[in-house]
């Protein structure tokens, strides 16, 4: 018995010793570098405050830090230990839990996990990696076997620059989002260093070229790089010739380490990182004036100094709101321009080109005619007209700005500031009158329609009941585009002689109105499905206006004729430009990227900015049209499905186009706006690769392009994904971003796909794009066989009927069909 107890005691002691040993080993901080095979989470290094790698001089540390708003979430950062200032962040937009691992694999791949996904990664495929090193400068580098730098944090800054870090053309500093979800961006553009507000259309508000406090060392050059040196920010041209200097401190200590931080208020501040647990902030900021940033006050408020904000008198009775929630949705009333007052300025006016040169009336007309325009500024001396689709704070100007400013508001949201003392009877009287008059007009209108219908029925020969009901439906639609007669469009198209293309529901013809306006006239052929498409297009497109959506100018509903008249798009559809083998038709990468971004913005508007969420259901290159300047516009809403904001998913009776259908169309799952995201991802891949998403003429591993793209991304062979005809740097951030965004969009699991608004933000560089997870082998096999069967039928671009039981679940939500 004694011997047995002794053996158990020794065994317990040994096991405890092993466990203690492993625990101690797991929490040992590395100095200088870590080697492949390393892995750790915040909880592993909790006794080291989550920091697992120190620089040799111990000034900097790499590891996990809690977020400001939630101590249970963590960021992977490089920080200056003494001051606790964070100088670089890997996963700013995707904080992780204390159990999520940072992994440095033996093959050299580095990544940060969040649950089962990867939120940040570095993958130097095909190159041997020896170590990850945190240098005394604060630069985190990945080294090859020959000590060559394969990757470095200095080349991928977040919102901070540090002494001796080169900031070059193509890099961006992006601030954390403000309280109004606005980020700010610093970049080198057109030979200058520029700060911009990250609106959908960026608005610059400062540039070093216009900065009066800088010292010019050599004029005439174009800036391509900048770095902090001692107490100044220095700017160089392509040949490293010293051009400008911006001195931000009187401290001339050459050994001082400074950082420049782009904060979420839009200012750049400078800090001296000192020992002793402090960092001294310089009094110098960029820009200099407290009112020179986009949001010193809320939108439309007038800034006149630090914390001095005043609402324009024209909006004072409306709580400084214009009443416009969605600029291009007029369902809540018409809009008008009201004067914001004289002597006002706006931060972007000195940096953006004018929208046009005209007179004041012409400028007002341009703003009223553009649903995206929320405010306009007109300069009497030059005739320059500036239109803005987003507005930040306004600026007061004691000396007068020389601009006349107008704000767009809802017409029915005007103020009563001109009225004298008003009692309740006076306030209610106009309301009563409006109700009475409106009711009378509606009754008279109904009587008029009924009389006209009876007379027509007596004169006209008997027609099918369905057609008559549909005509009445169209007659009573409010807010419709221009209604043409069949003869009008027959004449405009020269009897439909110039055919532009063939769609799933009819042919499209070129037309010209008597006033010279060019049209694309879609002649619907067929009754059943064609009429469904007609009803959807006329009721939806007619009320929607956006820069990246094709505008419906008119329609024809005469007898059995159903025609749609769109604005004419001179360069036709996208497929004609990306699938052609002739170099003459080749679009360069910049144009392709802008087309992809414009298409994403159009879809984001349909999904997020309409009162009712709109699912397109048929995104493909044939439905992306290009104007004279190759700006993209999404067309063909015949398959669109309306959703209320309360509905998250809907089963539809609509049709999509095979080859671009999301997996849920085939696997009996609910259809949502994420189905459009999948189709967009397919189109984005085709834009990047210049080929169809399924090509039976390719080898088996290349035939299904998304599967091939996932494989090439994993192997680090980005060049193989890109269109071989393009002269393009595959190391470009934009190229890498576009590929990753496309692969996120075509995820088989719809919950993993980003929203279109997130897609726009990722493409614009406003938020980071993590490494996409690999699509499942099952999904790849399913789609390969699906596309193959389509190919054998002869085409992959015709509309497929998704009404069958194979595509729709037996469970259906109530709602519009």
pLDDT of the residue at 10:
56
What is the DSSP track for 259-322? EEEE-TTS-EEEEEEETTTEEEEEEEEESSSTTSSS-SSSTTPEEEETTEEE--GGGGGGTT--
Best CA proximity match to 621, nearest among 572, 582, 666, 584:
572
The CATH number of the structural domain formed by 575-800 is 1.10.510.10
Mean pLDDT of 444-461: 71
Q: Which of 664, 679, 688 is nearest to 740 (CA)?
A: 688
Query: According to the annotation, is 523 in a ligand binding site?
Result: yes
**Residue 634's pLDDT band (cuts 50, 70, 90):** very high
pLDDT at 380: 87
Q: Is the pLDDT of residue 19 over 80?
A: no
For 700, half-sphere exposure in the C-beta direction (CA atoms, 13 angstrom radius) is 2
Least confident of 130-144, 281-295, 568-582: 568-582
Where b means 16+ CB within 10 Å and e means fewer, 162-186 reads bbebebebebbbbbebbeeebbbbb
User: Is the pLDDT assigned to residue 529 strictly greater than 60?
Assistant: no
pLDDT at position 731: 74
Q: What is the pLDDT of residue 655?
A: 44
Strands 149-152 and 140-144, by their bridges, are antiparallel
Higher pLDDT, 419 or 262: 262
Q: Give residue 649's pLDDT.
A: 41
Distance CA 551, CA 543 (A): 9
Residue 367 has pLDDT above 90, yes or no: yes
Q: Cβ-count burial of 778 within 10 angstroms (0-12 exposed, 13-18 middle, 19+ buried)? A: exposed
pLDDT given for residue 7 in this prediction: 55
The domain ranges of the chain are 24-155, 160-286, 302-413, 484-568, 575-800
DSSP labels, 66-125? E-SS-TT-EEEEEEETTTTEEEEES-TTS-B-TTPEEEE-TTS-EEEEETTEEEEEE--T
Which residue would you say has higher pLDDT here, 263 or 318? 263
Spatial separation of the C-alpha atoms in residues 92 and 75, rounded to whole Å: 6
| 422 pLDDT more than 60 | no
CB-based burial, 187-214: b 16+ in 10 Å, e otherwise: bbeeebbbbbbbbbebbbbbbbbeeeeb
Helix (H/G/I), strand (E/B), else coil: 356: strand
| 552 alpha-carbon distance from chain centroid | 25
Considering Cα of 290, then 295, then 296, then 297, what sign does the dihedral take?
positive
650 pLDDT above the threshold of 80: no
- Taking the CA of residue 817 as centre, how many other CA atoms within 13 Å lie in the half-sphere pointing to its CB? 7
Residues 6 or more apart whose Cβ sits within 8 Å of residue 434: none
Residue whose structure tokens are 């010279």: 516
Distance CA 495, CA 511 (A): 9
| Mean pLDDT in residue range 74-79 | 96
Q: What is the mean pLDDT of residues 202-211?
A: 94
The answer on pLDDT for 176 being more than 90 is yes
Per-residue HEC secondary structure of 447-467 comes to HHHHHHHHHHHHHCCCCCHHH
Q: What is the mean pLDDT of residues 30-55?
A: 92
pLDDT of residue 526: 58
Nearest to 313 by CA among 420, 415, 422, 419: 415
User: Is 627 one of the catalytic residues?
Assistant: no
Residue 354 has pLDDT above 70, yes or no: yes
Listed range (52-56, 521-525, 761-765, 781-785) with the worst mean pLDDT = 781-785
Mean pLDDT for 71-92 is 93
Worst-scoring range by mean pLDDT, 90-94, 310-314, 398-402, 703-707?
398-402
Structurally, what CATH architecture does the domain formed by 484-568 represent?
2-Layer Sandwich (3.30)
* CA 672 to chain CA centroid, nearest Å: 19
Describe the crossing of helices 465-475 and 528-541 by its angle, rounded to 10 degrees.
10
Beta-ladder partners of 511: 519
Position 450 scores a pLDDT of: 81
Query: Of residues 100, 192, 575, 618, which has the active-site annotation?
Result: 618
pLDDT of residue 583: 53
d(Cα 306, Cα 289) in Å, to the nearest integer? 9
Spatial contact of 124 and 108, defined as CB atoms under 8 Å apart: yes
Residue 226 confidence (pLDDT): 96
Half-sphere exposure of 548 (CA within 13 A, CB side): 19
Would you identify the CATH topology of the domain 24-155? Answer: Agglutinin, subunit A (2.90.10)
By percentage, how much of the chain surpasses pLDDT 90? 47
The separation between CA 514 and the C-alpha centre of its own chain, rounded to angstroms, equals 39
CATH classification code of 302-413: 3.50.4
Who wins on pLDDT, 488 or 411?
488
Window from 107-121, 146-160, 410-424 with minimum mean pLDDT = 410-424
Q: Which residues pair with 188 in a beta bridge?
A: 193
Q: What average pLDDT does range 397-423 have in this prediction? A: 64
Cβ(709)–Cβ(743) below 8 Å: yes
User: Does residue 332 surpass a pLDDT of 80?
Assistant: no
665-708 residue pLDDT tens: 766 667 788 999 999 999 999 999 999 888 877 887 888 889 89
What pLDDT was estimated at residue 614? 80
Cα separations in angstroms, 199 against 261, 677, 760: 20, 22, 11
Question: Which of 61, 797, 83 lies closest to 501 in space, CA to CA?
Answer: 797
Per-residue pLDDT, averaged over 259-287, amounts to: 87
What is the sign of the dihedral through the CA atoms of 514, 518, 524 and 530? Answer: negative
What span, in angstroms and rounded, lies between the C-alpha atoms of 195 and 176?
14
- Considering only residues 255 and 808, tell me which one the structure prediction assigns the higher pLDDT: 255
- Is residue 551 scored above 70 in pLDDT? yes
State yes or no: pLDDT of 179 exceeds 50.
yes
The answer to whether 658 and 798 are in contact (CB under 8 A) is yes
Look at residue 217 in the predicted model and tell me its pLDDT: 84
**Do the beta carbons of residue 783 and residue 777 sit within 8 Å?**
no
DSSP 501-539: EEETTEEEEEEE-TTS-EEEEEEE--SHHHHHHHHHHHH
Check pLDDT > 60 for residue 209. yes
Determine the pLDDT at residue 756: 95
Region of 668 (left: φ > 0; alpha: ψ -120 to 50; beta: rest) is left
Instruction: Report the pLDDT value the prediction gives residue 218, as an integer from 0 to 100.
Output: 81
Given a cut of 80, whether residue 16 has pLDDT beyond it is no
In contact, 394 and 301? CB cutoff 8 Å: yes
Report pLDDT for 663. Answer: 79
| The predicted structure's pLDDT at residue 8 | 55
Instruction: State whether the Cα torsion 84-85-86-92 is positive or negative.
Output: positive
Calpha distance 690→323 (Å, rounded): 44
More confidently predicted of 628 and 758: 758
Q: Let me know the angle formed at the C-alpha of 194 by 189 and 198, rounded to the nearest 5 degrees.
A: 100
Residue 311 confidence (pLDDT) above 50: yes
CB-CB contact of 43 with 100 (8 Å):
no
Whole-number CA gyration radius for the chain: 31
Map tokens 């980071």 to a residue.
768
pLDDT value for 775: 57
Which candidate, 131, 133, 104, 110, places its Cα nearest to that of 32?
133
Report the alpha-carbon distance of residue 302 to residue 282 in Å, rounded. Answer: 28
Strands 149-152, 203-207: pairing is unpaired
Q: What is the mean pLDDT of the chain?
A: 81
């Amino acid at each position: 018995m004694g011997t047995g107890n002794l053996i158990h005691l020794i065994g317990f002691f040994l096991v405890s010793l092993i466990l203690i040993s492993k625990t101690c080993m797991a929490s040992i901080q590395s100095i200088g570098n870590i080697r492949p095979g390393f892995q750790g989470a915040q909880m592993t290094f909790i006794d080291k405050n989550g920091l697992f790698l120190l620089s040799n001089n111990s000034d900097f540390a790499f590891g996990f830090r809690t977020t400001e708003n939630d101590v249970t979430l963590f960021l992977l950062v490089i920080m200056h230990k003494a001051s606790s200032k964070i100088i670089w962040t890997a996963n700013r937009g995707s904080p992780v839990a204390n159990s999520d691992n940072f992994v440095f694999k033996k093959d050299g791949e580095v990544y940060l996990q969040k649950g089962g996904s990867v939120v940040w990664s570095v993958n130097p495929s095909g190159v041997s990696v020896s170590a990850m090193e945190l240098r005394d400068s604060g630069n985190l580098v990945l080294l090859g076997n020959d000590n060559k730098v394969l990757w470095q944090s200095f080349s991928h800054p977040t919102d901070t620059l540090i002494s001796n870090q080169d900031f070059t053309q193509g890099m961006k500093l992006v601030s954390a989002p403000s309280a109004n979800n606005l980020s700010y961006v610093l970049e080198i553009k057109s030979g200058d260093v520029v700060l911009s507000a990250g609106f959908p259309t960026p608005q610059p508000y400062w540039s070093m070229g216009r900065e009066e406090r800088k010292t010019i060392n050599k004029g005439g050059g174009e800036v391509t790089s900048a770095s902090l040196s001692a107490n100044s920010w220095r700017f160089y041209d392509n040949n490293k010739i010293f051009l400008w200097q911006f001195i931000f401190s009187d401290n001339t200590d050459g050994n001082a380490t400074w950082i420049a931080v782009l904060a979420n208020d839009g200012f750049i501040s400078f800090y001296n990182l000192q020992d002793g647990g402090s960092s001294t902030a310089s009094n110098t900021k960029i820009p200099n004036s407290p009112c020179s940033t986009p949001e010193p006050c809320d939108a439309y408020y007038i800034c006149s100094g630090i914390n001095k904000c005043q609402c324009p008198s024209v909006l004072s009775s409306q709580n400084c709101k214009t009443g416009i929630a969605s600029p291009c949705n007029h369902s809540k009333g018409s809009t008008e321009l009201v004067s914001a007052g004289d002597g006002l300025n706006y931060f972007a006016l000195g940096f953006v080109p004018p929208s046009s040169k005209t007179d004041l009336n012409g400028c007002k007309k341009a703003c009223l005619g553009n649903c995206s325009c929320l405010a306009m500024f007109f300069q009497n001396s030059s005739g320059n007209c500036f239109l803005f689709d987003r507005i930040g704070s306004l600026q007061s100007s004691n000396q007068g700005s020389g601009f006349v400013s107008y704000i767009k508001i809802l017409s029915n949201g005007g103020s009563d500031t001109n009225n004298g003392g008003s009692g309740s009877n006076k306030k209610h009287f106009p309301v009563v009158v409006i109700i009475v008059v409106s009711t009378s007009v509606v009754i008279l209108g109904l009587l008029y329609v009924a009389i006209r219908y009876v007379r027509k029925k007596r004169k006209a020969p008997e027609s099918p009941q369905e057609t008559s009901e549909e005509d009445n439906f169209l007659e009573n639609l409010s807010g419709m585009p221009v209604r043409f007669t069949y003869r009008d469009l027959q004449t405009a198209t020269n009897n439909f002689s110039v055919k532009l293309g063939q769609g799933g529901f009819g042919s499209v013809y070129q037309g010209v109105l008597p006033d010279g306006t060019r049209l694309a006239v879609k002649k619907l052929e067929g009754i059943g499905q064609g009429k469904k498409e007609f009803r959807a297009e006329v009721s939806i497109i007619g009320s929607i206006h956006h820069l990246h959506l094709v505008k419906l100018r008119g329609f024809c509903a005469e007898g059995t004729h159903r025609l749609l008249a769109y604005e004419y798009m001179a360069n036709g559809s996208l497929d004609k430009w990306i699938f052609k083998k002739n170099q003459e038709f080749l679009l360069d990468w910049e144009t392709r990227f802008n087309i992809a971004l414009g298409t994403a913005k159009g879809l984001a508007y349909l999904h997020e900015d309409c009162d009712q969420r709109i699912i397109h259901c048929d995104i493909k290159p044939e439905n992306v049209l290009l104007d004279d300047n190759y700006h993209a516009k999404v067309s063909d809403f015949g398959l669109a499905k309306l959703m209320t904001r309360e509905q998250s998913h809907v089963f539809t009776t609509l049709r999509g186009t095979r080859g671009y259908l999301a997996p849920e169309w085939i696997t009996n799952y609910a259809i949502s706006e994420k189905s459009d995201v999948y189709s967009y991802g397919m189109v984005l891949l085709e834009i990047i690769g210049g080929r169809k998403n399924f090509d039976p003429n390719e080898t088996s591993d290349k035939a299904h392009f998304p599967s091939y793209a996932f494989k090439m991304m994993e192997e680090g062979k980005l060049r193989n994904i890109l269109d071989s005809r393009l002269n393009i740097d595959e190391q470009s951030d934009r190229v890498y971003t576009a590929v990753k965004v496309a692969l996120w969009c075509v995820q088989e699991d719809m919950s993993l796909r980003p929203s279109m608004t997130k897609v726009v933000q990722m493409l614009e560089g406003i938020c980071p794009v993590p490494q996409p997870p690999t699509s499942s082998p099952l999904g790849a096999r399913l789609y390969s066989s699906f596309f193959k069967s389509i190919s054998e039928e002869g085409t992959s671009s015709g509309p497929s009927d998704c009404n069958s039981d194979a595509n729709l679940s037996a469970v259906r939500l109530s709602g519009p069909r």
